[in-house]
Structure 1
């Protein structure tokens, strides 16, 4: 904690108490600042998945199991399959297919209308044309013999963000050349701690929000999302030696290859790229009657150079987030016991 500023740490921890069956949230923040930028990486996949389901509901002829493919893409798939891949192993291509379906403008408009501010999604993930503003057409199978084409949309080009911290480090690599100036994140995705926490709360505790602030999805779809968020890779058919339980669960288990006990469920979305690790999670322990919300981010780029693939993910980032999760989980266990004695 003596270098919390250097690592640009932001943490929001939410205690959950219940009075007459109603959940009461109490937030505790450490260095949370919506005007201080961090790169959100794959955490943006959670709202994209939820909004894809929302849009499906608005188009009466579609369901999450509708088959489709992106024009120019060789993979025929379903919305449910892509959403599952987004959470099981944080699949970038799956996320990008959902983003083609939605488009940047639609994503941002929908978030704003729900009162989710301090967020701006502007690009896809892991591809060269990530910030292309024109989405590709979707070829959708209405049944085994009938297809329809959803035309692409032209979206608004992103403006550079007017907040602190968008220029980071002392240099970056571009086309194998070192550019000796700060790396500019101004046109990148922006998804603050407050926005991440807000999306998670709306999905896990929709009753806490007015109808216009909730995601317009059915209870069946909401439970499908929750299952996708909590499913471990081994239960989704992935090789456990590569995709161990903590692969997508930084809090508590990120620094171990041990299996997560059956009574502990973590509903979350992680992100790591450009030296930044973030996790946004709802952690529950059914055996000990414990649950809490936790969102945190940390930057680990000791040399200040971006795009050199030299980041302290394993040495500092993941151990920190794991220890943070364990510390708060242990605190919650003690808090629950103290409440039980009253």
Structure 2
């Protein structure tokens, strides 16, 4: 009897030791002693970190994904900021593909605006430098209801895009008309779209901090995000998978994009600002590429392509990326968010983006890249 119990005791010890050793990849990476990682992990509650790392494998059956999550919870709210531009770009391409008279290169301007652009230019600006005005023009084209419907229809959920970004009329539920050039001499005006007013989100962490500024005055109460955009980690990752690897999904989960549109979108997602003519001193390669290179301003190596969309506002940094290293023949996905607002005050423009947030995401990318280099496939 004693031998029997000793056997089970030894088995328990071996199992316990094995579980300690056999950490999942994110546990290994986040146990790094690099100060960029450690200072965040030592203060996790303040930073509200959420991470999904996706391994990509290929076999005779096709593409397979293995997700590893750290604190991912769709019920724990974080402000998605400019990551919301990613679904706007995808939904715009799908709508264009359904209107015979419009294309990527159709010229247009918003009624009351003086800036003429094209859908291709707006989407390129969204990914290259995260241009807010370009995104808002797409919202006027789509309307919030149609944008959300198109994304949810393909199984990307939950998502709620409710407003434009950094615009005085950002919450307006009625879109402005577009003046569209059908050819050199013919224009048409789109009709305004009336959208459903957003209802307050009922989520954990929807109120943040201890105070915020409004109209130059300090308000001593938490900042309420309940009427803001909502685009959690799960949905961001799901959208990225469908765009990078549409063949891995059933037809009804794929976006209705032409080959030309899909190729254009992929190109836009990894094109660096200097390649579009932006000043490389101000808009350096990693200007909106947080993983691996975000804390550096030197040129990125040609053999690494990062297809991504970042967001940063209200002290929250988020990046959703597919990373491909052609030199070492590896690729993976990672979506992560972090809050860096040590004083707990929102709208004061005092956030630790450069000191804590971007270095953490950059090092996280490097650690995962190193892990992928060693991973058996």
* CA distance in 2: counterparts of 1:85 and 1:246, whole angstroms: 15
Quick one: distance in 2 between partners of 1:219 and 1:281? 21
Residues 294-305 of structure 1 correspond to what in structure 2 (within 5 A)? 294-305=334-345
Aligned length: 337
Residue equivalent to 1:184: 224
Counterpart check, 1:155 vs 2:195: yes
- Matches of 1:147 and 1:193, distance apart in 2: 40
Matching of residue 31 in structure 1 with residue 71 in structure 2: yes
Say if 2:291 is the partner of 1:262. no
Corresponding position: 1:311 with 2:351? yes
- TM-score, normalised by the number of residues in structure 1: 0.97
Equivalent residue number for residue 226 of structure 1:
266
Q: Is the 8 A contact 2:64 2:248 kept in 1?
A: no
- Looking at structure 1, the residues matched to 281 and 178 of structure 2 have their Cα atoms a distance apart, in angstroms, of 35
Show CA shifts across 1:52-81 (max 9, x none): 010011111111001111100101111001
What's the CA shift for 1:21? 6.7
2:90 is aligned to 50
CA distance in 1 between counterparts of 2:106 and 2:300 reads 33
Shift of 1:20: 2.2
* Matches of 2:82 and 2:362, distance apart in 1: 18
Larger Rg, first or second structure (1 or 2):
2
Alignment of 1:195-234 (within 5 A): 195-234=235-274
User: C-alpha offsets along residues 204-225 of structure 1, whole Å, 9 cap, x if unaligned?
Assistant: 0101111121111012111101
Provide the rounded CA distance (Å) in 1 between the counterparts of 2:293 and 2:104: 31
Structure 2 counterpart of 1:290: 330
Partner of 2:143 in structure 1? 103
Partner SS, residue 292 of structure 1: strand
* Cα deviation digits, residues 258-294 of structure 1 (max 9, x gap): 2111110000000000000000000000110010000
Instruction: Report how far residue 153 of structure 1 moved.
Output: 0.6
1:61-72 mapped onto 2 (5 Å cutoff): 61-72=101-112
Partner of 1:13: 53
2: CA distance between counterparts of 1:234 and 1:148? 34
Deviation per residue, 1:99-129 (Å, 9 max, x gap): 1000001011112211111210000001111
Alignment of 1:137 with 2:177, yes or no, is yes
Question: Any unmatched runs of 5+ in structure 1?
Answer: none
Aligned-residue CA RMSD in angstroms?
0.8
Instruction: Identify which of 282, 300, 314 aligns with 1:274.
Output: 314
Unpaired segments ≥5 residues, structure 2: 1-40
